[in-house]
Amino acid sequence: MAILSLGNSERLFWLGRYSERVFTGIKFLLARPSWNGSCFDENNSESVHFSLMRAYDNAIVLRDEIGSDTFSYVQLAVYEMKNASRSRTPLVGLQKVNDNIAAFWGMADDSISDEHVRGIIKLGKRVERVDLYARNNADSEDIRREIHRLIYRIAKTGLHYDGARLSALNALAGGESINRPEVVREVESLINFSGT
């Protein structure tokens, strides 16, 4: 296992978060009956394009850790996003973006030999998915499943996390109903990269 700097650990975490933000954001867009092109605004921090470019920014710095083959799928997603923004059928293009994000995750599993590196990306992905599902009123069972996946994943990363918040998330998942704002609050404060 390579020793990762705190900065690269944080970049891996955010690579996982931003790639999930792209994937789930597109999934929600494709499920909605109405459509607008705001997802292509690279300057809007709420847009899919913005999140994809932040994933790309992190991936390019982490090329040594994740490998060129894995990185190439983030590059392909950026290429497909640009094509989709100019297309008469942007939803088809957005599906291609998601296909490349899914291929990025698959390649990360297959070609990144350092379990620690893979684990941090996956943790970022899980944190983001719990956050997005809670914010977007996903089904309670889906939120519970993702909280349990996050709990399973976190111990494998070696990152410092707030054990009390993890316990609180576990309790929220076990409750009769899901308190979505509380889930968001707990998951957003779970990981701290300040070294404490």
Q: What gap in Å lies between CA 29 and CA 185, rounded to an integer?
A: 24
pTM of the model: 0.94
Q: What gap in Å lies between CA 101 and CA 166, rounded to an integer?
A: 27
> Is residue 179 pLDDT above 80, yes or no?
yes
Tokens, residue 138: 């996903």
pLDDT in tens, 96-142: 999 999 999 999 999 999 999 999 999 999 999 999 999 998 999 99
